[in-house]
Structure formats: structure tokens, C-alpha cells
A and B are shown apart, each in its own frame.
Chain A
């Protein structure tokens, strides 16, 4: 069944159609959430919450809109909210994020596979740059779609992607050229 047909049935109340969409997009959402929150348990909670919110709101989904973009908009907002809440909780203790924010071009040690190495590199990015990189290079969104998802302008998003790539370049060169 085409996605358009699945979405139409989900809007009309077919829970199995919605569940199929959720299965289809779970991976993408999980990838974004894991990198944005840098914690797998938190990421799963946020992804579940995202799909449940979308489920409750699917009746308002406008025909002709792209489901993935709508879903990612909800997800990105949930990730930002979760990250803000966690940061407030953590600020009473030594802040691991501060250490991670001091990005260097050192190759991470103790890493054994390409995915983990790249993930560690991306995790060092400023959250907004990380978000832009994930949406562009991992999920393949167009800039106009990214603008809808993030609320940022296209020019700002292009700048964020550029800065993310500039920061990642030495780390990726180290990962891929050893």
C-alpha cells in the first residue's frame, strides 16, 4: 500500500495503518533521538512519546502534507524539550556535556567500529549543528523540509550544516583515512 493510502486510512481511524507507518518510521526517529539525546533509554522514551502524540493528533493531519516531515517536527520538539529538562537536572552535578563540548580533532579511543566512531564525532557537535547534520545527511531532508521541521530559516540551516561539516571534517578524515 502506498504511503498516501496508509496515511489516509490512519487519518480515518485505522489503527493498523498507523501502526504500519510507525514501524516504517521508527528507525529514522530512533536514529535522530539517539544522537540528539546521547542516551538510548531516553531516546526510546522520546520516540514512543512522539508516536503517541502523533497518533492522538492524526485526525488533524492535513491531506497533501508529507507525513514524515510532520512526524519529524513533533520528534524534534520532543527531543529539544527532553534535552532541556535533562540539562536542568544535570546542572547540579559535574556536567559531562561541558567536557564533550570541548571538541577536539582527536580520534576517539576505545572505539571499534565505523558507526560508533562517527556517532561519537557527531555527538560532539553543538546541538543545533548536530540536529541540522542529522536531518540533512542521515535522513536526507531537503532544506525546505528542514525549515518546516526546525522552524529555522533556510539560510540559517545551511550555515548550521556548513559549520557542522567543518567541525566534523578532521574527525571523519581521521576515521576514514587510517
Chain B
């Protein structure tokens, strides 16, 4: 037999193993029922009648945000004093637009807080996009390490599950970290 013949032999074996088991439909139905039961269990625990609790906390953000420059969202119309003050000996002066995205269909309002806006929940409100389930905002950030979180409905501070965790828990909760690369300098 040639190599091609052997390859066809293995593929034939693979195809044979793709035959469904006799009880597969019933097992599939059992799984779907368990998924719905899990969904109801999670919903009941958080008191949200329409969506699982994790949907309100799910978030996607850009963790290592070098080179994205999407610029598709408008920046906040209110800039904080902290953002306006020079950073002293801190970061590279060049700033890059960084988009933050948060999925929270049940939220009434969401804002971005971080070391770039004095952690002021009124400084950078996010706006709904994508069929009203997603919140987003783009901010100009200088190169360097930035710590941030989302504030949901004015009082729930939430770290970004998609981003690296900040190790510091000064006030009992972890924040998230975004690293913005210096313009044209990836050093890699």
C-alpha cells in the first residue's frame, strides 16, 4: 500500500468513528434540558427575570491594546481634571485611542473608571451599541500601564473578565489592567 492508501485507511477509520451512537438523540435532549435548568437556576439567584446573571457581567475589552487604533467610538464629552493634568515623569506623551467594550444587556448605565480619569464614574459614560446589549467608549490613553474597571448602574464596580487582573486590591476589589504600547515601539 502507498502512503496515500494508508492515509485513506485512517480517514476511513475516522469516518467510521463519526457514526452517531444509538442513544445520542436522547443524550442530547438531556443536555439541553440541563442547560435550561442551569440558566433558570442562575437567573433565580440573581433575581433577573430575563437574562442569566453572567450575561450582565460578561465583558470584552482590549487587554493588550497595542496597534488597534479603531477610533470608532466617540470619546467622552466630559474629560476629567485628572486626564488634563500632565502626568509628570510618567508616560510617553503620544496617546492612542483605546476602545473599551462591556456586555451588559440589563444595565441602565455603565461608565468607565480608571487611573486615567481619576476613577470618576461621571467622567466617562459608555454608550450602548450593537443592538443595545453592549456598551462601549474609546478613550485616548498614553503608552504605559493603566488600571481600570466598569461601574454598572452607578454603584457596582466590576473588573473586566477578559483582561489581566490587577494584583493590587487596595479597597477589597480587583481592577483590570490594560497595557498601551508606545507608538512605533514594540520592542519585540
A adjacent to B, CB under 8 Å? yes
Which B120-145 residues have a C-beta within 8 angstroms of A? 133-134
Contacts of A63 in B (CB 8 A): 60
Please tell me if the beta carbons of A12 and B14 are within 8 angstroms of each other in the complex.
no
Please tell me if the beta carbons of B58 and A59 are within 8 angstroms of each other in the complex.
yes
Cβ-based interface call for B168 (8 A): no
Cβ-based interface call for B83 (8 A): no
**Interface-located stretch among A85-93, A111-119, A151-159:** A111-119
Q: How large is the interface on B (under 10, 10 to 19, 20 to 34, 35 or more residues)?
A: 35 or more
C-beta contact mask, A28-49 vs B, less than 8 Å → 1, else 0? 0011001100001000100110
A60's contact among B9, B10, B51, B161, by CB below 8 Å, is which? B161
Cβ-based interface call for B16 (8 A): yes
Contacts of A165 in B (CB 8 A): 6, 10
Please tell me if the beta carbons of A26 and B161 are within 8 angstroms of each other in the complex.
no
Please tell me if the beta carbons of A12 and B55 are within 8 angstroms of each other in the complex.
yes
**Interface-located stretch among B25-33, B85-93, B171-179, B180-188:** B25-33
A59, B60: Cα distance in complex, Å: 8
Known pairs A12-B103, A30-B27, A137-B13; A52 contacts B35 (CB<8 A): yes
Interface residues of B: mostly helix, strand, loop or mixed?
Answer: helix
Which B1-18 residues have a C-beta within 8 angstroms of A? 1, 6, 9-14, 16-18
List the B residue with the shortest CB-CB distance to A34.
B21
Known pairs A30-B27, A59-B55; A176 contacts B10 (CB<8 A): no
Interface residues of A: mostly helix, strand, loop or mixed?
Answer: helix
C-beta contact mask, B26-50 vs A, less than 8 Å → 1, else 0? 0110111011101100100000000
Q: Which A positions have Cβ atoms within 8 angstroms of B? A: 11-13, 15, 18-19, 22-23, 26-27, 30-31, 34-35, 40, 44, 47-48, 51-52, 55-56, 58-60, 62-63, 114-115, 118-119, 121-122, 133-134, 136-138, 140, 165, 168-169, 172-173, 176
